[in-house]
A and B are shown apart, each in its own frame.
Chain A
Amino acid sequence: MSDAPRTMFEKIWDRHRVLEREDGQTLLYVDRHLMHDGGAVAFDVLRKRGLKPRAPDRIFTVPDHYVPTDSRRLEDMRDPRHRELVEKLAQNTAEHGIRNFGLGDPNQGIVHVIGPETGLSQPGMVMVCGDSHTSTHGALGALAFGIGSTEVAHVLATQTLWQRKPKTMRITVEGQLGPGVSAKDVILAIIAEIGAAGATGHVIEYAGSAITGLSMEGRLTLCNMSIEAGGRAGMVAPDETTFAYLAGRTYAPEDWEAAVERWRALPSDPGAPFDAEVTLDGGAIEPMVTWGNSPEDALPIGGVVPGPEAGADAERREMMARMLDYMGLTPGTRLDGLPVDRVFIGSCTNSRIEDLRAAAAVARGRKVAEGVEAWVVPGSEPVKRQAEAEGLHEVFRAAGFAWREPGCSMCLGVNGDTAAPGTRVASTSNRNFMGRQGPGARTHLVSPAMAAAAAVSGHFTDVRRLMAETI
């Protein structure tokens, strides 16, 4: 191998190559395979072929998509098909000696929350999961990406995956984020800038002072939504913030010093070339709100709903008209002041302790506006315990928020946590797709602080104004 400067992605890629075909396909070794309650299909494939998981100690599972958020009891799951998926996950993992953080386990939670939280997600790893938001784990300096169920079965059987080397993109955000501006606003601003397909075929590395200044929770939010820009994965170079976060966690390496030394060599070498470069001014980013049905349709809270004539081409103009109709919006309407019916604080994007602290800071001493139904769904049991130890649940309850059990919940609504048709939702999740939160539901993506501000105001508003008020 030459001494040419390499990106962090290339270092991880090179280290996990089992073999390379002449046609450019690489068989890549997988360090950690995470699975959730949608994984039954893959176990079925193995069973039919008479195969067993190759490396059960590299697989970790947790039910999150279908679990109820008003109960921790399997018996309370109303849909027998959903119950069966959670039961099957427990059976399949028990059969093969795979660690499952089942319903009621003190570490159960959303797969992309518990991976980092338990220390399973580590710098330099190749990680996969049958879920597009696997990009989240890249926040720790791992190469982590989502796969489909055929690929899940392949990884189960072989602990490897055939891949063609993706391109690389560096997104540099320099400067100091303003008050009330969070990682969620940064990633929405990035997607608004490069588009929902802006990073297709690329692995993103986020860099710059605004990124390195983020906490681990913030970096997880940022990398989580890489897929919403089309990115195969998103990563942040490991640094002291990463090491401090991981130290002492259950699955942190036993030989900690050796691991940290290895990790220090991971960041991209100076001068390593990227296939694409994007830069943003962090200081110019404002609290963001989406108005349409793609995460790219994001604007600063001070913005107004655009009209179709703003579209660049006929296809875009037609799509904008379709989205405005679905969202029940009139061009020219100010986003600040747009009434909301429901508020959802949760999901693998924004359900970590820091997210709940930010939302609670806004909710403290205020009341959820009349007619608004507001939920807080912590990302995991440990997040829930921590929040309760800090009294955040009392802050939320006193304000009129529902304090629920961990799970994916209203982000995609497959467990039945959905919004009624026509309902306008301020959501801290990652997708504002048509019907994502239920048929006809109108989703607007925002940060946790902005969601809390919408809940107590009854409409979207600039959280910075609330932060300036003394209660």
Chain B
Amino acid sequence: MEAFNRLESVAVPLARPNIDTDQIIPGRFLSRPREVDHSAFLFHDARRLPGSEEANPEFPLNQEAYRPARIIVAGRNFACGSSRESAVWALFDAGFRCAIAPSFGDIFRNNGMKNGLLPVVLPAEAVAALTGQIEAAPGARVSVDLAAQTVTFPDGTVHGFEVDPFAKHCLLEGLDEIGLTLSHEEEIAAFERRFGRENSR
């Protein structure tokens, strides 16, 4: 996994509640292996005019000032719904390394932490303020510091966020959990001996 430490970047606002993973990557693009660049599938339908291949100029991701964005600022319950990890891949391959929202779908939140995309939960009022700032000054920069657990808004205000200590450690180091868990082989085997007999096969 790519490590995440600090990031300073343009942030793109997508202030809608309940943006689901079907919108982030429609189902018909799911059958690709990870090696495939998923960036073209990101918000594939949402960023086009209905029934056409033409870009919807109103969709923030299509606007020039937001093109360099590596941070997405979304509404509550961002990336709810399907467990499709390709929702994270599509964001990651398009350059995103951080998503900020008042709340996230639990599965997406886990998937992000395990794929180098940091989900940051901030209070709804703070997210609304951040959205206001990046809408008023498209291209304004936001910085995220995982070690310090802070987000600095374009207006200079600093906002702390909570993150699971274990996930933080893995993300800072770029660790993948399989290796770490396998180092606990003895404990897993001991558990299985204890547990296996009384439980179902």
Residue B140 is within 8 A (CB to CB) of chain A in the complex? no
Give complex CA distance A467, B140 in Å: 60
Pick the residue among B15, B80, B199 that contacts A196 (CB under 8 A): B80
**A298 → chain B closest CB, angstroms:** 13
Interface size grouping (class) on chain B: 35 or more
CA distance A16 to B26 in the complex (A): 36
On chain A, the residues within 8 Å of B15 by CB distance are: 315
Partner of A414, one of B16, B31, B114, B191: B31
**A31 engages B181 (CB within 8 Å):** no
Complex contact B184–A18 (CB within 8 A): yes
B77 an interface residue at 8 Å Cβ cutoff? yes
Q: Does B18 contact A (CB under 8 A)?
A: yes
Determine whether B62 belongs to the interface, using a CB cutoff of 8 Å to chain A. no
Chain B stretch 81-95: residues in CB contact (< 8 A) with chain A: 81-85, 88
A218 touches B (CB below 8 Å): no
Q: Which of A51, A164, A431, A440 contacts B81 (CB 8 A)?
A: A431
Q: Do A27 and B22 have beta carbons less than 8 Å apart? A: no
Contacts of A414 in B (CB 8 A): 27-28, 30-31
Given A146-B83, A154-B178, A413-B28 in contact, is the A439-B103 Cβ separation under 8 Å?
Answer: no
Chain B residue numbers with a CB within 8 Å of A55 are: 192
A24, A55, A81, A150 interface centre (most CB from chain B within 10 Å): A150
The answer to whether A435 and B23 touch across the interface, beta carbons within 8 angstroms, is: yes
Closest residue of chain B to A40 (Cβ to Cβ) is B33
A23 within 8 A of B: yes
Q: A158-B181, A197-B77, A439-B45 are in contact. Are A148 and B23 (CB under 8 A)?
A: no
Whether a CB of chain A sits under 8 angstroms from the CB of B76 is yes
A413 CB contacts on chain B under 8 angstroms: 27-28
- Docked CA distance A133–B187 (Å): 30
- Identify A434's interface contact among B23, B110, B177, CB under 8 A: B23
- Chain A residues near B83 (CB, 8 Å)? 130-132, 146-148
**Which of A315, A431, A439 makes the CB contact (< 8 A) with B26?**
A439
Cβ–Cβ contact B103 & A200, under 8 A: yes
Interface of B is mostly: loop
**Are A57 and B201 within 8 A (Cβ)?**
yes
Whether, in the assembled complex, B64 has its beta carbon less than 8 Å from a beta carbon of chain A, the answer is no
Contacts of B181 in A (CB 8 A): 27, 154, 157-158, 160, 162
Contact with B along A43-56 (1 / 0, CB 8 A): 01100010100110
User: How many A-B contacts at CB < 8 Å in the complex?
Assistant: 181
* B45/A315 in contact, CB under 8 A: no
Q: Are B16 and A230 in contact (CB under 8 A)?
A: no
Given contacts A150-B85, A196-B18, A413-B28, contact A125 B178 (CB under 8 A): no
Is A151 among interface residues, defined by CB-CB distance under 8 A? Answer: yes
A19 touches B166 (CB 8 A): no
Q: Knowing A146-B107, A431-B22 touch, does A85 contact B31 (C-beta < 8 A)?
A: yes
| A150 and B75 within 8 A (CB) | no
A148: contacting residue among B26, B85, B103, CB under 8 A: B85
Rounded to whole angstroms, the CA-CA distance of A196 and B103 in the bound complex is 11
Chain A contacts with B in 239-267, Cβ cutoff 8 A: 251, 253-254, 259, 262
Chain B nearest Cβ from A28, distance in angstroms: 10
Query: Would B115 and A150 count as touching, CB distance under 8 A?
Result: yes
Interface flag for B154 (CB, 8 Å): no
Q: With A and B bound together, what is the CA distance between A322 and B91 in angstroms?
A: 23
Q: How far is the CB of A216 from chain B (nearest CB, A)?
A: 18
Given A44-B34, A318-B16: A439 in contact with B184 (beta carbons within 8 A): no
Contact partners of A57 in chain B: CB under 8 A: 201
B161 nearest CB across to chain A (Å): 15
Which A27-41 residues have C-beta < 8 A from chain B? Answer: 27, 29, 31, 38, 40-41
CA distance A319 to B169 in the complex (A): 37
Cβ-based interface call for A209 (8 A): no
Contacting residues, chain B, for A159 (C-beta < 8 A): 188, 192
Name the A residues within 8 Å of B178 (CB-CB). Answer: 45, 49, 51, 153-154, 157-158
Contact A421/B50 with A38-B30, A40-B33, A158-B182 known, Cβ cut-off 8 Å: yes
**Chain A stretch 311-361: residues in CB contact (< 8 A) with chain B:** 315-316, 318-319, 322
Q: Mark B1-32, 1 if CB is under 8 A from A, else 0.
A: 00000000000000111101011001110111
B169 and chain A: residue at smallest CB distance:
A23
Q: Is A7 an interface residue (CB 8 A)?
A: no
CB distance from B54 to the nearest CB of A (A): 14
Q: Which residues of A contact B30 (CB under 8 A)?
A: 38, 414
The smallest C-beta distance from B92 to any residue of chain A, in angstroms, reads 12
Which residues of chain A are near B187, meaning CB under 8 Å?
Answer: 18-19, 27
- Within B15-68, the residues touching A (CB, 8 Å) are 15-18, 20, 22-23, 26-28, 30-34, 45-46, 50-51
Q: Is the CB of A21 within 8 A of B166?
A: yes
Task: Scan residues 157-201 of chain B and give those whose CB is less than 8 A from a CB of chain A.
Answer: 164-166, 169, 177-178, 181-182, 184, 187-188, 191-192, 195, 198-201
Query: What are 5 A-B pairs with beta-carbon distances under 8 A?
Result: A25-B164, A146-B107, A154-B181, A158-B181, A315-B17
> 6 other contacts beyond A24-B166, A81-B31, A160-B188, with CB at 8 A cut-off?
A23-B166, A27-B181, A31-B199, A125-B200, A148-B85, A434-B46
Closest 4 CB pairs between A and B? A148-B111, A197-B77, A23-B165, A148-B85
